[in-house]
Amino acid sequence: MTLPRTMRAWRVEDLSDAGTMQRREVDLPVPGPDQHLLRVEAAGVAFGDTLIVRGRYQVKPPLPFTPGSDVVGRIVGDDALAGTRVASSTSRQGGFAEYVLVPRSEVVAIGDDTPAGAALALRSNFPTSLYALRHAAALKAGETLLVHAAAGGVGSAALLLGKRIGARVIACAGGPAKAAACTAMGADVAIDTQAGDWVDAVRAAAPGGVDVVYDPVGGDTGAQSLRCLAFGARYLVIGFAGGSLTALPANRLLLHNASAIGVLWGEVRKRDAALSAQLTHEVYAAWRAGELPLPPGRAFAFDEAPQALAALAGRDSIGKVWLDLGALR
């Protein structure tokens, strides 16, 4: 196919609390020897994107930049693998665009029968959660797992993987619809955090405490989670979707002989490519075998990128969120 010289892309040109993006026409990127050029079919939207566009994420790309760290698309250009449909991380953002550069080491070939939303969740959310539960927390069958934001992207992955490992899963989510979604995904206990004191509800459901806490929310949610620990528990720091860092009360870790463990999957991916590939292929295989029934997620049109970010920021989504670029073809 003949490639255009320019493409449409969402750009962050200034950082502000509003997280404003502009849709621009920009030059088509040129791949280096260790990169593929993808024609983007769908771009994953993660809670981190709501932070990075406001300059509140751990990584701050130089301005101007295009957000988006995971994509589904086809390899194009003068490339031996041209035409191959793949899911991939972008490493340096850039996914909210018609074309994007991805590292050759990051692509996973997927069949045409794999829906874009499923491919994105399996490429990003599920390896993150599998690494967190199996490798960081050493979660075992029969243990109790508490998952915060359990109806969200990484939270729903943790819920499903926790059940697959054989844990008893207590799912916390905001609102009755999200709590119901957690029950439908197999949670043993689903707690609506908007309906009352969730700490009391967790302690009632697990009088002896929980063995592992999976926390992508942070802030006060993280601090209060330490009131729910069993002896020898592991508290996983996944992220800070609540908007503030977690001030952990170290005395509660001490009293329960517990540990707090940070999980930064992007860094693990860079440092252990073999493990990253193993976990990624494992979750794809489990999904194809019918062992991971994914929540439906939600697609937005490319022009609706600001609305997609607003839905995540407002906790108005269940499962994976992505931009569908099909209408641009």
Question: CB neighbours of 250 closer than 8 A, spacing ≥ 6?
Answer: none
- Tens of pLDDT along 103-156? 998 899 998 989 999 999 999 899 999 999 999 999 999 999 999 999 999 999
CA distance 97 to 328: 10
Tell me, yes or no, if the two domains 6-113+296-328 and 125-267 fold the same way: no
Q: Return the beta strands (E) in the chain as ranges.
A: 6-11, 22-27, 35-45, 70-76, 85-89, 99-103, 108-109, 144-147, 168-173, 189-192, 210-215, 229-237, 259-262, 298-301, 321-324
Range in 46-60, 108-122, 279-293 with the lowest mean pLDDT: 46-60
Q: What is the pTM assigned to this prediction? A: 0.90
Residue 57 pLDDT: 80
- Is the pLDDT assigned to residue 91 strictly greater than 80? no
CATH architecture of 6-113+296-328: Alpha-Beta Complex (3.90)
With cut-offs at 50, 70 and 90, classify the pLDDT of residue 329: low
Residue 254 pLDDT: 93
- Is the pLDDT assigned to residue 29 strictly greater than 70? yes
Buried b (16+ CB within 10 A) or exposed e, 44-69: bbbbbbbbbbbeebeeeeeeebbbbb
Tell me what the pLDDT averaged over the chain comes to: 92
Kindly state the average pLDDT of the residues 305-326: 90
Domains of the chain: which residue ranges? 6-113+296-328, 125-267
Q: How far is CA 229 from the centre of its chain?
A: 25
The top-level CATH class assigned to 125-267 is: alpha beta
Residue 48 pLDDT: 85
